[in-house]
């Protein structure tokens, strides 16, 4: 079993590569400079050269606000590039493991979203990711789509790193307290993906399809920020405690609309692969202590 990882320079791709190295899993990690998934010729050459059994697509245009003003680029990466990968995976009988998002939902639910709930994205990012999912389902049965949410790691631009940077410069931070989701560590996602792939390697009754994987329990951005600040201060990552002020989505205007509730139900992935939701507070503590 050999894995090809796209988007390996991103926070999730980086973690997947690290975990594959740790477990001595044969893999090839390609960045967007060494594999542009919007270029069909590059995909074909990468497949012929590396001969993967599995492609993990961690390549994505993930800047939600920037997607509103860069719709063509978001569509090219999140929809067209995914379509091209699906076509080649179908042609070469490769398992496509694709990372998607909670933002395919509109946020109007009051209970956790299941995989069977209808998608209805409210911003360009969510719409292009949703179309990428649809392309995969229409092209190849041999796929796993994993929707996740509020991803954080020690790498790149994410909420955790942003809050720590802001806390070092400001006495007060305004944090949205009416959007609910589930923070998820990139490390826990990488482990879940590898567990799925290992089952694929040996199980003739493997269940392809769409799955949710995210952290636990649900919280607001304010709750998340409060925990980040507490751990960071107690462990010397910040020298003082800024005041945190609760604000609404209407108070904190952004370029793109954000869904109010995108908590994901992870019952299906637990039943199929014995993968349980990760405890994000424990993962956050581990990440910040190690740094």
Are 275 and 269 in contact by the 8 Å Cβ rule? The answer is yes
Distance of CA 107 to the CA centre of its chain: 17
Q: Is 155 exposed, middle or buried (0-12, 13-18, 19+ CB in 10 A)?
A: middle
CA distance 161 to 272: 33
Using DSSP's 3-state secondary structure scheme, residue 22 falls into helix
> Is 125 tagged catalytic?
yes
Residue of 19, 125, 216, 261 marked catalytic: 125
Q: Write the DSSP symbol of residue 102.
A: G
Using DSSP's 3-state secondary structure scheme, residue 227 falls into helix
CA distance 15 to 60: 15
The catalytic site residues sit at 125
């Amino acid at each position: 079993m050999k894995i090809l990882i796209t988007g390996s320079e991103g926070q999730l791709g980086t973690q997947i590569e690290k975990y594959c190295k740790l477990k001595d899993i044969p893999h090839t990690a390609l960045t967007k400079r060494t594999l542009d998934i919007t270029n069909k010729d590059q995909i074909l050459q990468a497949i012929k050269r590396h001969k993967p059994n599995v492609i993990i697509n961690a390549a994505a245009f993930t800047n939600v606000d920037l997607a509103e003003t860069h719709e063509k680029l978001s569509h090219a990466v999140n929809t067209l590039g995914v379509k091209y990968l699906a076509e080649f995976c179908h042609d070469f009988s490769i398992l496509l493991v694709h990372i998607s998002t909670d933002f395919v939902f509109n946020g109007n639910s009051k209970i956790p979203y299941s995989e069977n709930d209808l998608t209805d994205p409210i911003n360009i990012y969510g719409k292009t990711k949703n179309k990428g999912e649809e392309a995969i389902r229409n092209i190849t049965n041999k796929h796993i789509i994993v929707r996740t949410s509020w991803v954080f790691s020690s790498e790149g631009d994410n909420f955790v790193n942003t809050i720590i940077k802001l806390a070092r410069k400001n006495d007060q931070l305004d944090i949205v307290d009416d959007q609910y989701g589930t923070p998820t560590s990139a490390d826990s996602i990488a482990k879940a993906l590898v567990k799925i792939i290992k089952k694929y390697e040996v199980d003739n009754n493997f269940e392809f399809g769409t799955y949710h994987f995210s952290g636990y329990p649900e919280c607001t951005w304010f709750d998340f920020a409060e925990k980040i600040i507490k751990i960071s201060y107690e462990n010397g990552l910040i020298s003082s405690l800024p005041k945190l002020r609760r604000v609404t989505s209407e108070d904190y205007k952004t370029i793109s609309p954000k869904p109010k509730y995108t908590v994901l139900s992870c019952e299906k992935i637990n039943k199929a692969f014995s993968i349980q939701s990760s405890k994000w507070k424990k993962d956050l503590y581990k990440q910040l202590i190690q740094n």
